[in-house]
Structure 1
Amino acid sequence: MVGAGFPPILAVTTENIPGFEVTATIGEVHGTAAVDAAPGTVPELSRVRDAAVTEMKRAARRRGANAVIGMRFDTGTAGELCAYGTAVRAERIRLSAVPSPDEAPSGSGGRSASGTPGRWPPTSAGTSTYW
């Protein structure tokens, strides 16, 4: 969902999101949409699928989620399509930089390979953060 000043809800078919940590499981959410006309045509099926996913994302946002994991689709006998999954709060994982050889301790009394004092563990001044 884009617009209304909100970040988009991420929806994935997997049980985890690479680079994110699930910090809260909110619960099941779903969205349904029905075939209106010309059932079976590719444009109509795409429209129904997109509408079901949009409704599922709206339900997730209403419950305070920022992502949906384990998303699946199910069909009904009346030409309806249901998108469902588990609404979660997910936070991006902060990865600290891997120290360079000059920052890691060596066997020479805490000095790096170049002979300068090693910085291990890295101090806040010597730490980089990647997203």
Structure 2
Amino acid sequence: MPVLTGIAHVTLSVRDRDDSVEFYRDVLGFREYETTDDARWLRTTCRHPSGLLLCLTQHRDHFNARFDPRHAGLDHLAFSVSSPEELEQWERRLDLLEVEHTPILRRDHGSLLVFEDPDGIQLELYCPARPAD
């Protein structure tokens, strides 16, 4: 079987591209990389220092409803963090920025923080559990 080497990019449909660019920049550290607006959409690709590309697309004919995970497609988007301590730093950052979030949820498979972007897309910051010795 051919090999996948990772995720090249993620594209999210958003209600307001500029609001979404601001959120992903201010909260998660993405930076604008390229903007391509045309008759179909307003699209900005953002790059994270980790290398992940995130495309934020506002379709010109969108129906302006919030995201609903019950529809076929994306349910949520999880970003990995390197350690439980890093996850705690993220919790403090979200508090500082007044971004509503869950407390750190500890599971057998790992720990996570859950919050939403301006369109109601569920985002997670996830730290996998360390293997037992």
Q: Which TM-score band applies after superposition, normalised by the shorter structure?
A: under 0.3
| TM-score (norm. length: structure 1) | 0.25
Select the structure of larger CA radius of gyration.
1
Greater relative CO (CA pairs within 8 A, separation 6+): 1
| TM-score (norm. length: structure 2) | 0.24
